[in-house]
Structure 1
Amino acid sequence: MNTKYLSKAGMIAALYVILVVLEIPLGQLAFGPIQVRIAEALVLLPLVEAAAIPGVFVGCLIANLILTFASGFGLIDIIGGSLITLVSAYLTSKMPNKFLAILPPVILNGLIVAIWVSSFFPELNYWTVVAGIGIGELIAVGIFGNIVLYAYDRIKRHGYK
């Protein structure tokens, strides 16, 4: 790892945290049974930038630490949610194109995060929470993630490093 790599990872982590903090006034949109965590758009970046893998992991970890006071999910979300983001980012980096790269974060967050989120909302069954988180992740990664990739490509193409 060099200074440039660490700087990129740090900037991506900071951006992830900022995007999550900006969502806090919207209530449970960043952590509830229906999640559209805009910061998850950054999970598509590992497709084109290796430093995004540790960047989104650290950003998610810090954001989940901040959100633990608002969400009440505690340690399971801090550790579990962050590790799912790490695995999603790694798997995304191995995908052959941006269409398949959307799958790891959508599937993993939808199926695994829903396990503990549904336990905090007993009035909702597991599959309802899977749908809420999965669709939200699809919006965040599929729509906003592609905007991030487009912006990243434009910046890189015009010589901004």
Structure 2
Amino acid sequence: MKRTKFLTQAAMIAAIYVVMVEVFKPFAYGMVQVRIAEALTVLPFFTAAAIPGLTIGVIVSNIIGPYGMIDIVFGSLATFMAAYLSYRMPKKALVPLPPVLVNAVIIGAMLYFIFLGTPDEMPLLPIMGWVGLGQIVACYGLGYPLMNILEKYKDKIFR
């Protein structure tokens, strides 16, 4: 029963993540991005099932997305790391921080590599800054309020 609940929660989180990326696709990719679905990165605060759920959601989203295998590999790796670190955060206010920092560095570096030698090329640190800023909007601006709302209903949603 417990394993079924874990798998069901992970699958639902993955599905919701993919739908959110697709619905808000114009904002989800690029050097300047606010991936609205990243608001869900606060879910490890409530359940460990969010770790595989978010990771699978990112894998599926990046399979559909424009950057190919590099994004599938590094995007999902960044998400897995950030979700695990969020799960381990000792204070609620710190839960959204790992997705901000991990994605700023890993996705920023990935985008730098993708756009290197193209007309859209930009220095590494500004790209990391733009990715980090987008993550702050998604994780703290949207995710933290979501976490406060879900906390009121956690016994009903995540039991």
Superposition TM-score, scaled by structure 2 size: 0.89
Match of 1:61 in 2: 59
Per the TM alignment, residue 98 of structure 1 is displaced from its structure 2 partner at its CA by 2.4
1:7 aligned residue: 8
Question: Is 1:82–2:83 an aligned residue pair?
Answer: no
- Residues 72-131 of structure 1: CA distance to partner in whole angstroms, max 9, x if unpaired? x21110111011101100000000122222221111110111112012334311111101
How far the C-alpha of 1:23 sits from its partner, in A, is: 1.3
Matches within 5 A, 1:139-154: 139-154=137-152
Cross-structure match for 1:121: 115
What is the rounded CA distance, in whole Å, between the counterparts of 2:69 and 2:114 in structure 1?
Answer: 13
The one of 47, 50, 64 aligned to 1:49: 47
Q: After the TM superposition, list the runs of 4 or more consecutive aligned residues in structure 1 that deviate by more than 4 angstroms.
A: none
Aligned equivalents of 1:11 and 1:151: distance in 2? 18
Identity of aligned residues (%): 39
Residues 45 and 149 in structure 1, CA contact (< 8 A), matched pair in contact too: yes
SS at match of 1:91: helix
1:131-142 alignment runs, 5 A limit: 131-142=129-140
CA distances 1:27-54 after superposition (whole Å, capped 9, x unpaired): xx21100121011111111022111111
Aligned positions, number: 153
Q: Which amino acid aligns with 1:52?
A: A
Structure-1 residue corresponding to 2:24: 23
Instruction: Give structure 2 stretches of 5+ with no counterpart.
Output: none
Does residue 105 (structure 1) correspond to residue 75 (structure 2)? The answer is: no
The separation in 2 between residues aligned to 1:120 and 1:80, in whole angstroms, is 12
Instruction: Indicate conservation of the 8 Å contact 1:8/1:51, yes or no.
Output: yes
TM-score normalised by L of structure 1? 0.88
Q: Which moved more, 1:57-66 or 1:117-126?
A: 117-126
Across the aligned residues of Structure 1 and Structure 2, the Cα RMSD in angstroms comes to 1.5
Alpha-carbon distance in 1 for matches of 2:102, 2:53: 18
Rounded to whole Å, the distance in 1 between the matches of 2:77 and 2:111 is 15
**C-alpha displacement at 1:64, in angstroms?**
0.6
